[in-house]
């Protein structure tokens, strides 16, 4: 299985980077993993809805260009479906069973992901109704992908 994580916006916070890299390395034992950072459109704090939608559209173009062909696309969004770790493992395993060899997870910017990109996703997924910093969401999602692979492969980590 090939997993791609596309996230919008970067950080220089070492603790986020180290944690994400650790889980990315662990996922490598089960399949190919690649993370792709997309440039976030900068907006002023009090931007109009029209400016936000324009920024999301520009980010969408860059995200779409980075999605590997033939991937099942999972958009991370608060209105998405909440899954347990076992549920995520089942989703990943079911994709493989359907002949899908590539899954692309997308974490949008602080303004989210465009509605048109969410509309074409295979799954809209929510970690929680809570709001998390995007770089923490990257670490949490990467850990959950690793956990899913340990569940699929009967490893002890998930217990």
Give the pLDDT of residue 53: 92
Q: Is the pLDDT of residue 116 over 80?
A: yes
* Residue 61 burial class via C-beta count within 10 angstroms: exposed 0-12, middle 13-18, buried 19 and up: exposed
Torsions phi, psi of 78, nearest 5?
-60, -30
Distances (CA, A) of 74 to 34, 61, 77, 92, 121: 15, 16, 9, 11, 6
Dihedral in degrees, nearest 10, Cα atoms 12, 88, 24, 156: 130
Q: Is the pLDDT of residue 8 over 60?
A: yes
Distances (CA, A) of 8 to 27, 45, 70: 21, 17, 21
The neighbouring-strand residues paired with 81 are 125
Instruction: Please report which confidence band the pLDDT of residue 158 belongs to, taking 50, 70 and 90 as the band edges.
Output: low
Give the pLDDT of residue 44: 77
Percent of the chain with pLDDT over 90: 81
The stretch 33-51 carries a mean pLDDT of: 88
Give the pLDDT of residue 132: 85
Q: Is the pLDDT of residue 159 over 80?
A: no
Residue appearing with tokens 């959950």: 144
The stretch 28-38 carries a mean pLDDT of: 95
SS3 94: helix
Q: Which two tokens stand for residue 73?
A: 């696309």
The stretch 35-45 carries a mean pLDDT of: 89
Domains of the chain, with CATH numbers?
Answer: 2-152 (3.40.1280.10)
Distance (Å, whole) CA 65 – CA 59: 10
């Amino acid at each position: 299985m090939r997993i791609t994580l596309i996230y919008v916006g970067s950080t220089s916070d070492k603790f986020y980077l180290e944690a994400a890299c650790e889980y990315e390395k662990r996922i490598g034992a089960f399949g190919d993993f690649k993370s792709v950072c997309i440039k976030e459109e900068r907006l002023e704090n009090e931007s109009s809805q029209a400016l936000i939608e324009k920024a999301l559209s520009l980010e969408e173009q860059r995200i779409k260009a980075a999605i590997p062909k033939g991937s099942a696309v999972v958009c991370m969004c608060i209105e998405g479906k909440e899954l347990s770790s076992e549920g995520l493992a089942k989703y990943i395993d079911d994709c493989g069973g359907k002949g899908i060899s590539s899954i692309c997870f997308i974490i949008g910017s602080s303004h989210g992901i465009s509605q048109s990109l969410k509309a074409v996703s295979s799954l809209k997924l929510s970690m929680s109704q809570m709001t998390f910093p995007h770089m923490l969401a990257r670490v949490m999602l990467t850990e959950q992908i690793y956990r899913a692979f340990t569940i699929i492969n009967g490893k002890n980590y998930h217990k």
